[in-house]
């Protein structure tokens, strides 16, 4: 999951940098902008899909043992779905700063719309429904265990497990909240069969704000998991502190 977070953060920064360059009227050929949009869309799409599926796997792992093969399968599914997303992204002549998502192909059939709906469902409601159900099950099991044998929870190992579970619930909840707006925009594109640029033309400024906020939340998603992990993991904080002390001593 850390890999997908870094990918998401890096590509969000690249996209924001492209916007900044275009805002000061730095010229960029249409083909270069299209290529930049496609590469960013592929990596952002695969990282978002991987993150959402990984949260589901972690919640399953809290209940049952998960094989590494499942994690490899998640990356494979995410890359395949994102490869299709790569083909649907283009730049728009009226909005050259916007990576446009096309809901239909050149033949104007429904295959692209079906793809967007399937990818959106696979990336958001399905894994997060699994997460909610399994974490509720885990919380119920922990409460039952505490009621029958509270002395067990004074054990250091169980205390670490509780903190780890709290950390993952927090990280998952933040990801679900952050990804909701992006999911709704994705579904809107698929259902209306209009590209982002066409929706902006149709709805004007009110539709620009959700897009900007979703990009900000995408960037925030790449940071929040590291902050959450740092807050809950005492060993990680201690290691980072020692590293900073050693680095300062070497100067």
Half-sphere exposure (CA, 13 Å, Cβ side) for 48?
A: 30
Burial of 69 (0-12, 13-18, 19+ CB in 10 A): exposed
Average pLDDT in the 89-111 region? 66
pTM: 0.67
pLDDT at 140: 78
Mean pLDDT of the chain: 70
Whole-Å CA distances, 122 to 12, 118, 209: 22, 6, 25
Predicted confidence (pLDDT) at residue 1 exceeds the cutoff of 70: no
The region of weakest confidence among 56-60, 152-156, 214-218 is: 152-156
pLDDT at 228: 73
pLDDT at 243: 67
CA 78 – CA 241 distance, rounded (Å): 35
pLDDT at 121: 82
Alpha helix (H) residue ranges in 24-155: 30-61, 68-88, 111-123, 125-148
Question: Among the ranges 101-115, 194-208, 235-249, which has the highest mean pLDDT value?
Answer: 194-208
Residue pair 88/116 in contact by the 8 Å Cβ criterion: yes
pLDDT at 12: 67
CA 138 – CA 192 distance, rounded (Å): 39
pLDDT at 229: 72
Which of these, 88, 89, 93, lies nearest to 22 by C-alpha position? 93
pLDDT at 156: 56
CA 182 – CA 184 distance, rounded (Å): 5
Q: For the segment 155-177, what is each residue's pLDDT rounded down to a tens digit?
A: 555 666 677 777 777 877 888 88
Average pLDDT in the 226-246 region? 71
Domain span at residue 113? 2-250
Residue pair 56/66 in contact by the 8 Å Cβ criterion: no
Q: For the segment 175-200, what is each residue's pLDDT rounded down to a tens digit?
A: 888 888 888 887 887 788 777 778 87
In the chain, the number of structural domains is: 1
Residue 101 gets which letter from DSSP? E
The CATH code of the domain that includes 37 is 1.20.1070.10
């Amino acid at each position: 999951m850390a890999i997908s977070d870094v990918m998401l953060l890096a590509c969000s920064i690249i996209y924001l940098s492209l916007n900044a360059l275009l805002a000061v009227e730095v010229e960029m050929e249409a083909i270069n902008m299209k290529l930049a949009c496609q590469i960013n869309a592929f990596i952002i799409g695969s990282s978002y899909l991987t993150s959402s599926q990984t949260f589901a796997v972690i919640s399953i792992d809290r209940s049952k043992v998960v094989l590494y093969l499942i994690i490899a399968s998640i990356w494979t599914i995410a890359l395949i779905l994102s490869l299709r997303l790569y083909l649907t992204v283009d730049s728009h002549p009226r909005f050259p700063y916007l990576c446009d998502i096309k809901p239909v192909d050149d033949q104007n059939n429904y295959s692209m719309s079906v793809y967007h709906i399937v990818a959106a469902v696979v990336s958001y409601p399905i894994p997060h429904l699994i997460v909610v159900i399994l974490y509720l099950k885990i919380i119920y099991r922990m409460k039952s265990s505490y009621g029958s044998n509270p002395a067990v929870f004074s054990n250091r190992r169980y205390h670490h497990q509780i903190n780890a579970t709290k950390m993952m619930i927090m990280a998952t909840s933040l990801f679900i909240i952050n990804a909701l707006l992006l999911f709704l925009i994705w579904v809107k594109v698929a259902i209306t069969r209009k590209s982002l640029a066409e929706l902006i033309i149709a709805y004007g400024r009110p539709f620009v704000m959700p897009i900007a906020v979703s990009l900000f939340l995408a960037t925030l998603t790449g940071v929040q998991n590291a902050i959450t992990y740092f807050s809950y993991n005492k060993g990680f904080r201690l290691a980072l502190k020692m590293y900073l002390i050693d680095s300062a001593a070497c100067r």
